[in-house]
């Protein structure tokens, strides 16, 4: 093992934290120095993660780093360790890319705000803590990172504290987020009391020897719910909506693209490596069930939103629901589908949040009922939004399609293999959720970007290039990961999935060879893990291109004159006197401003579901006490279910 | 070279562009004649839809002031191309599909969605309030038929799985065609008959035929999604509508009527066309002649209760191994 | 290459948009009756469309009241070329019994070139069909002029 590369995980984390402190030192003097420090630390972290790709993802090594060189003694891990296997690195890559994009975006996006030093300090601390979480090999370290993450995220949510609801959203996040952290802490304490260690690898090795120890099982329930809170799974989804709606767009990207991924990472690590219990039906039902419920409830809630970012927030949870559903299936295909979707979700949801931020930055509004027709003024943002919307709705050939397709296949396979109606039902819910997702992005497209431009937005300008570049990075990633699913599978998903299924290797690398075998952990079945074939978007795209060309040629042959003297007539945009010919047909009336959009759009659907919607409306009361109660009830439910049935 | 030529042949002639357009014109022409006959009229000539298409090509295109020009022109073409590309996934008349991916059924499901999305986005980009109402209805109609459609797809995919089969090939149309070639058409399995009926209902709504053409109601919302379209883009939308009739009926044939073969390729294709004609009459002309247009909330209710119920019944039966 | 085909189709698929400019509903009903099984104008490819953007033939009935005048002009402007305007019944061409009323501002010629005019209060369906058939020929001629 290359000793130099060995230091990269800790360096990547430290450089972000050090960057945070340096920012607060130099940032007050010069904005340039501040931005420089932020950029350097983000880039360095990203570069280090990329440098680890070859040994970890391609060669399948596991990098272990013991802080202060406190290696395990006689099979007991005392020191704190960082352990980077393919799974950790996969999430590490997601995190650093998202951090990089979000940081670059902030440079221009945040220029209306003041006290930016605080913003960047908190931002880098948030980034460092998240990276620390996914690379850590120590359970208590994970808790510490979760705490830093939660508190910085809360502070950043309330950063624009002049916004209506900013403090309220942050407070809700704080209170219910603490519930999740507490749940994690209780789980960790229980594990420590039983196993006397905090090292992930060692815990993983010791748990099977405990048999049906109820304390260990209760710890599972607490840890699961702790991570579920961090991923904002049902019933914690109202928090995300409140927080996202008021947070700056770059922070929304972090919350939805990065923080929720920590929850996902935690659940995968917990269920696959720590407990290795996803072969038990109850755990499958539990995880998949939580995922499916979040997926469905959040997508229907998104129907009712009037605020662009609140809508995106609900979709964010809905997509995380997809991820958790796939992960809970317990099959290799499921895990790789889940990981794929997790990655894609960061990319397309990040893109969508950034376009929302662009709209907010240029118009000052996020209200779906008052915006409209921005495609005329912000054509590039519109294109970016359409790419993001097509990806999240799973339209081919974008990345959302490839991953959702794997999820359906995984769910159906699981159902067909077990003959279980539950998985079939999950598959149906996933398919329907997809079309509902599409519907609500149609709503956004119609009410923000298309239709008629309101009078007060006549002078709106396109966002500056500095904000479009980060968006383009994500948009290109959307297309690339969608066009080459086979490569993504081979180079990213397969190593990460094998790592999830190979707990023994994880243990051995940390605790010394043979430790896993000594504790009866079988070497993971990496063989036969090959995921089924992918569809081939590139050749489909060529077909599409051929047909489009054919249509175009026929059209050219058909009307050579039409092209010359153009039977296409469009109006002069600058004309003072409006020509009636180019006005919208209004049954002959004078065309007035009329925009069909916002909340009225899917009346036919909402009418039939009015009872459900009014129930959900009451349920999302906005009262923090209620949300805490839901959280406590959910934790109690999972605890009881686990203890009684496991 | 040969590969290139054969794929060009597939894309442009059979079963691609030319065949689809011919079939679309034929089916929609016959549909209009049948509806006319049901109303005791003579009806238009067989090629009427073709004349409509050509005429629209020759008209002026007025781009409205509120329209986003690029999207306004791109949407119909992309939608049409996506629709034609579906035909390449279909194993028409017992043959091999021209282009086989894996899990073609999911791809087809989403390509059909893409076609509707192109209509919707085009309508949205035209900036008309009537189109706004139209696209909202189109989307609700889409949500309506998507549930039964999904259930039918799942039922069929499950029905062809024998115990011990590899699960890597699910959702594959080729596998469905092969199964039917070996075991006879799936419609003869009684457990799948409700699914077939549900699929018959899905066809007209997916195509947007009367009485389910809520999105293009010309009397109430001025052609809805197409309110601001004129000239060649409108012509392409019209053509998309016609070809969709063929694609949907062909999909039904592939799913439920596969494996009926005479052994001669040409006869097989004629038989296939015949099935498409019968299906067009059953699913589109008959309801058109018999019913008045539904309201959009009625469409939703009907599809999520009755039609989805039928499809779910089939799915449960199949899942239980019947 | 396809110009000739398109020109011929222009005569075979005329879509009608109907504007009621204050008509008493008599002519409107007769126009609809043209599409009924008895007369079946769909034989000739006629179809009523809901938006002027898709129309080839604009049929105007009624004496052009002050209330409908601006709406009529606006709607006529929105019909793409080539288009044919047909005036239906006596009202649009002369004002009929409403002539001289303070509330009407006819005839239709004041606002647009009328290609075909059908007289009668109300015209017989046969006459309307004959007028529409005439209009399709004019439509074809106009199309030919467009690409000359």
| DSSP tag of A570 | E
pLDDT of C31: 87
In whole angstroms, how far apart are CA B98 and each of A307, B92, C136?
A: 45, 9, 43
Chain B stretch 240-269, residues whose beta carbon is closer than 8 A to a beta carbon of chain A:
none
Residue pair B103/B156 in contact (Cβ under 8 Å)? The answer is no
Q: How would you classify residue B184: left for phi > 0, otherwise alpha for psi between -120 and 50, otherwise beta? A: left
Mean pLDDT of A447-475: 83
Which residues share a beta bridge with C48? C16
Q: At what angle do helices A421-444 and B129-159 cross, to 10 degrees?
A: 160
Closest alpha carbon to A491 in A44, A2, A56: A56
**Res. A531: pLDDT tops 60:** no
User: Three-state DSSP class for C122?
Assistant: coil
Distances (CA, A) of A505 to A253, A295, A515, C109: 34, 33, 10, 90
Please say if the pLDDT value at position B127 is more than 90.
no
Per the structure, the complete domain to which residue A413 belongs is given by 278-485
A161: tokens are 């504290």
Beta sheet of C47-48, edge-to-edge order: C47-48, C15-20, C57-61, C84-88, C116-118
User: C-alpha B175: how far from its chain's center?
Assistant: 21
Q: Please, what is the average pLDDT of chain A?
A: 83
**Record: contact A585-C6, CB cut-off 8 A:** no
Subunit contact A436:B127, Cβ cutoff 8 A: no
Cα–Cα distance for residue pair B68/B60, rounded to 1 Å:
18
Chain C: which residues have CB within 8 Å of chain B?
2, 5-7, 9-10, 12-15, 37, 40, 42-45, 47-51, 53-54, 56, 78, 80-82, 143, 146
Chain C residues touching A559 at Cβ < 8 A: 2-3, 6
Q: Are B170 and B161 in contact (CB under 8 A)?
A: yes
Measure CA A514 to chain center: 37
Position of tokens 């990472």?
Answer: A265
Establish if B45 touches chain C: CB-CB under 8 angstroms.
yes
At B41, give phi and psi (nearest 5°): -110, 170
- DSSP E strands: which ranges in chain B? 61-63
- CB contacts, 8 Å: A535 with chain B: 101-103, 107
Residue A329 in this model has a pLDDT that exceeds 80: yes
> What is the per-residue pLDDT for A189?
92
CB contact under 8 A, C37 and B39: yes
Rounded (10°) angle between helices A260-268 and A86-109 = 180
Q: Is C58 helix (H, G, I), strand (E, B) or coil?
A: strand
Average pLDDT over residues B35-55: 87
The CB density around residue B52, as the number of other CB atoms within 10 Å, is: 27
How many Å apart are CA B186 and CA A41, to the nearest integer? 61
C-alpha distance from A42 to closest chain C C-alpha (Å): 54
Residue A490 in domain: no
Give A422: exposed, middle or buried? Use CB within 10 Å, 0-12, 13-18, 19+: middle
> Does residue A45 contact residue A127 with C-beta atoms inside 8 Å?
yes
Of A310, A342, A312, A311, which is closest to residue A325 (Cα–Cα)?
A342
Of B111, B132, B232, Cβ closest to residue A446: B132
For residue A415, which residues of chain B lie inside 8 Å, CB to CB? 319
C45-91 residue pLDDT tens: 888 888 888 888 999 888 888 888 888 888 888 888 888 999 988 88
Sign of CA dihedral A410, A413, A417, A418: positive
Strand A568-570 versus strand B61-63 pairing type: parallel
Q: Is the pLDDT score of A176 beyond 70?
A: yes
As a whole-number percent, the residues of chain B with pLDDT over 70 amount to 94
Q: What's the pLDDT score for residue A584? A: 76
Sequence-separated (6 or more) residues with CB below 8 Å from residue A57 = A86, A89, A90, A491, A492, A495, A496
pLDDT in tens, C110-121: 888 888 988 888
**Three-state secondary-structure class, residue C51:** coil
DSSP state of C50: S
- Confirm if C13 and B55 have CB atoms less than 8 A apart: yes
Mean local confidence (pLDDT), C13-38: 87
Q: What topology does CATH give the domain C3-138?
A: Rossmann fold (3.40.50)
* pLDDT tens, residue by residue, A231-257: 888 888 888 888 887 888 888 888 888
Rg of chain C over Cα atoms, rounded to whole angstroms, equals 15
Q: Is the pLDDT of residue A185 over 90?
A: yes
Is A406's pLDDT higher than 80? yes
pLDDT, tens digit, 9 for 90 and up, residues A564-585: 445 666 666 666 667 777 777 7
Question: Burial, C71: exposed, middle or buried (Cβ in 10 Å; 0-12, 13-18, 19+)?
Answer: middle
CA pair distance A322, A502, nearest whole angstrom:
23
Min Cα separation C18/chain B (Å): 12
Closest by Cβ to A580, choosing from C53, C74, C81: C74
Residue B29 in contact with residue B197, Cβ under 8 Å? Answer: no
- Residue C27 pLDDT greater than 80, yes or no: yes
Task: Give A 541-560 residues with CB within 8 A of chain C.
Answer: 557-560
CA atoms within 13 A of residue B95's CA, in its CB half-sphere: 22
pLDDT tens across A600-610, in order?
677 778 888 88
Give chain C positions within 8 Å (CB) of A570.
none
Residue of C nearest to B51 (CA): C9
Residue A574 burial (C-beta neighbours within 10 Å; 0-12, 13-18, 19+): exposed
Confidence of residue A516 (pLDDT cuts 50, 70, 90): confident
Where does A427-562 show beta strands of DSSP type E? none
Q: Which residues of B touch C50 (CB under 8 A)?
A: 217-219, 221-223, 227
pLDDT at A564 (0 to 100):
45
Q: Confidence band (pLDDT; 50, 70, 90) for A524?
A: low
Neighbours of C70 (CB within 10 A): 15
Structure tokens at B79: 């939608």
* Confidence at A380, pLDDT banded by 50, 70, 90: confident
Pick among B31, B45, B58, B66 to test the C interface (most C CBs inside 10 A): B58
Question: Which alpha helices (DSSP H) does A86-195 contain, by range?
Answer: 86-109, 116-135, 139-157, 166-195
Domains of chain C by residue range: 3-138
- Domain-located, residue A5: no
Percent of chain A with pLDDT over 70: 91
- Residue A211: helix, strand or coil by DSSP? coil
Q: Rounded distance, CA A303 to CA A495, Å? A: 37
Backbone phi, psi, residue C76, to 5°: -60, -35
**pLDDT given for residue A563 in this prediction:** 46
Enter the tokens of residue A555: 């059209």
What confidence tens digit (pLDDT) does each residue in A103-125 have? 888 888 888 777 888 888 999 99
Average pLDDT over residues A544-568: 63
Give the residue-averaged pLDDT of B199-210: 88
> Which residues on neighbouring strands pair with residue C87, listed in sequence order?
C60, C117
Q: How far apart are CA B72 and CA B233, in angstroms?
A: 8
Contact between B141 and B205 under an 8 Å Cβ cutoff? The reply is yes
Q: Where are the domains of chain B?
A: 2-319
Distance CA B257, CA B276 (A): 10
How many Cβ atoms sit within 10 Å of the Cβ of residue C146?
A: 19
CA distance B278 to chain A (A): 29
CB B303 within 8 A of CB B49: no
How far apart are the C-alpha atoms of A250 and A257, rounded to whole Å?
10
A527 falls in which pLDDT band (50, 70, 90)? very low
Residues B144-153 pLDDT 10s? 898 999 899 8
Closest listed residue to residue A53, CA positions, set A14, A96, A82, A16: A96
A463 and A361 in contact (C-beta within 8 Å)? Answer: yes
Cβ pair A434, A69 in contact under 8 A: no
Q: Which two tokens stand for residue A447?
A: 């009410």
Phi-psi region of B295 (alpha: psi -120 to 50; beta: other; left: phi over 0): beta
């Amino acid at each position: 093992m290359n000793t130099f590369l060995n230091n990269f995980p800790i360096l990547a984390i430290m450089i972000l934290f050090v960057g945070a402190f340096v920012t607060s030192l130099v940032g007050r003097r010069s904005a340039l120095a501040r931005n420089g420090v932020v950029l350097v630390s983000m880039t360095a972290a990203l570069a280090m993660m990329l440098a680890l790709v070859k040994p970890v993802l391609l060669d399948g090594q596991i990098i272990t780093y013991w802080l202060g060189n406190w290696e395990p003694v006689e099979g007991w891990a005392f020191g704190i360790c960082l352990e980077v296997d393919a799974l950790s690195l996969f999430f590490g890559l997601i995190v650093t890319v998202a951090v990089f994009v979000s940081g670059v975006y902030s440079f221009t996006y945040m220029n209306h705000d003041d006290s930016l030093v605080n913003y960047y300090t908190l931002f880098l601390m948030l980034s460092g803590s998240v990276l620390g979480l996914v690379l850590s090999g120590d359970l208590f370290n994970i808790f510490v990172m979760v705490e830093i993450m939660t508190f910085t995220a809360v502070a950043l949510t309330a950063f624009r504290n002049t916004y209506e609801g900013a403090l309220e959203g942050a407070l809700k996040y704080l209170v219910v987020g603490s519930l999740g952290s507490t749940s994690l802490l209780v789980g960790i304490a229980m594990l420590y009391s039983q196993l006397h260690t905090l090292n992930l690898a060692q815990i993983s090795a010791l748990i099977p020897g405990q048999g049906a120890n109820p304390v260990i099982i209760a710890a599972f329930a607490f840890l699961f719910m702790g991570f579920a809170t961090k991923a904002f799974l049902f019933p914690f989804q109202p928090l995300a909506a409140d927080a996202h709606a008021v947070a700056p767009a770059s922070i929304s990207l972090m919350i939805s693209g990065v923080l929720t991924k920590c929850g996902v990472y935690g659940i995968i690590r917990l269920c696959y490596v720590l407990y290795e219990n996803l072969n038990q039906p109850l755990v499958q039902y539990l995880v998949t069930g939580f995922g499916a419920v979040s997926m469905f409830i959040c997508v229907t809630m998104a129907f009712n939103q009037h605020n662009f970012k609140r809508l995106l927030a609900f979709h964010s949870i809905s997509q995380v629901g997809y991820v958790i559903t796939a992960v809970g299936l317990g099959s290799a295909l499921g895990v790789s589908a889940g990981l794929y979707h997790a990655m894609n979700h960061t990319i397309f949801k990040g893109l969508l949040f950034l376009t929302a931020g662009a709209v907010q930055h240029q118009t000052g509004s996020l209200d779906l009922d008052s915006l409209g027709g921005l495609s005329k003024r912000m054509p590039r943002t519109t294109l970016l939004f359409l790419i993001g919307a097509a990806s999240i709705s799973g339209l081919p050939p974008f990345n959302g399609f490839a991953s959702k397709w794997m999820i359906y296949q995984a769910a159906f396979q699981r159902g067909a293999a077990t003959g279980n109606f539950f998985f079939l039902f999950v598959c149906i819910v996933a398919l329907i959720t997809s079309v509902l997702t599409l519907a609500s992005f149609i709503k956004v497209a119609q009410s923000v970007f298309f239709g008629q431009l309101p009078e007060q937005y006549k002078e709106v300008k396109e966002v500056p290039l500095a904000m479009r570049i980060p968006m383009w990075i994500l948009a290109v990633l959307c297309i690339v990961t969608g066009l080459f699913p086979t490569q993504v599978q081979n180079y990213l998903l397969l190593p990460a999935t094998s790592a999830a299924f190979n707990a023994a290797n994880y243990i051995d690398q940390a605790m010394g060879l043979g430790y896993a075998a000594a504790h009866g952990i079988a070497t993971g079945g990496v063989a036969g893990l090959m995921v089924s074939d992918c569809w081939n978007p590139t050749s489909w795209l060529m077909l599409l291109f051929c047909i489009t060309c054919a249509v175009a040629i026929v059209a050219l042959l058909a009307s050579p004159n039409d092209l010359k003297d153009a039977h296409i007539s469009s109006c002069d945009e600058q004309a003072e006197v409006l020509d009636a010919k180019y006005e919208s047909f209004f049954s002959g009336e004078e065309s007035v401003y009329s925009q069909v959009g916002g909340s009225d759009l899917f009346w036919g659907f909402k009418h039939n579901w009015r009872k459900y919607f009014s129930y959900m409306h009451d349920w999302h009361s906005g009262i923090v006490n209620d949300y805490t109660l839901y959280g406590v009830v959910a934790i109690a439910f999972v605890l009881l279910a686990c203890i009684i049935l496991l | 070279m040969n590969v290139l030529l054969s794929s060009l042949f597939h894309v442009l002639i059979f079963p691609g562009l030319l065949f689809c357009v011919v079939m679309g014109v034929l089916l929609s022409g016959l549909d209009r004649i049948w509806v006319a006959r049901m109303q005791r009229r003579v009806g238009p000539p067989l090629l009427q839809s073709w004349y409509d298409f050509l005429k629209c090509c020759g008209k002026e295109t007025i781009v409205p002031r509120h329209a986003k020009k690029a999207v306004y022109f791109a949407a119909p073409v992309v939608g049409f191309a996506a629709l034609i590309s579906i035909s390449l996934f279909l194993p028409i008349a017992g043959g091999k599909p021209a282009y086989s991916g894996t899990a073609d059924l999911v791809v087809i499901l989403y390509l059909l969605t893409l076609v509707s999305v192109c209509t919707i986005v085009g309508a949205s980009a035209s900036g008309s309030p009537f189109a706004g109402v139209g696209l909202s209805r189109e989307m609700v109609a889409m949500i309506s038929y998507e549930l039964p459609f999904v259930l039918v797809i799942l039922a069929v995919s499950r029905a062809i799985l024998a115990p011990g089969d590899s699960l890597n090939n699910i959702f594959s149309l080729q596998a469905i065609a092969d199964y039917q070639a070996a075991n006879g058409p799936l419609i003869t399995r009684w457990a799948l008959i409700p699914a077939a009926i549900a699929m018959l209902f899905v066809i007209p709504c997916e195509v947007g035929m009367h009485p389910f053409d809520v999105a293009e109601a010309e009397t109430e919302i001025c052609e809805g999604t197409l309110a601001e379209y004129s000239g060649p883009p409108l012509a392409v939308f019209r053509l998309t509508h016609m070809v969709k009739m063929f694609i949907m009926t062909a999909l039904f044939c592939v799913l439920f009527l596969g494996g009926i073969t005479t052994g001669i390729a040409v006869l097989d294709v004629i038989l296939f066309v015949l099935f498409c004609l019968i299906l067009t009459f059953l699913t589109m002309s008959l309801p058109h002649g018999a019913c008045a247009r539904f309201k959009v909330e009625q469409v939703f209710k009907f599809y999520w209760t009755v039609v989805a119920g039928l499809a779910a019944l089939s799915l449960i039966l199949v899942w239980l191994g019947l | 290459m396809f110009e000739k085909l398109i020109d011929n189709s222009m005569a075979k698929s005329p879509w009608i948009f109907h504007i009621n400019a204050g008509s008493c509903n008599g002519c409107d009903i007769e126009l609809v009756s043209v599409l009924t099984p008895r007369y079946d104008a769909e034989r000739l490819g006629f179809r009523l469309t809901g938006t002027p953007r898709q129309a080839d033939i604009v049929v105007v009935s009624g004496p052009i009241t002050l209330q409908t005048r601006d709406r009529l002009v606006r709607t006529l402007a929105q019909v793409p070329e080539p288009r044919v305007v047909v005036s239906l019944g006596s009202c649009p061409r002369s004002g009929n019994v409403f002539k001289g009323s303070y509330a009407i501002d006819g005839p239709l010629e004041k606002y647009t070139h009328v290609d075909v005019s059908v007289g009668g209060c109300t015209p017989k369906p046969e006459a309307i069909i004959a007028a529409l058939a005439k209009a399709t020929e004019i439509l074809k001629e106009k199309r030919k002029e467009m690409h000359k």
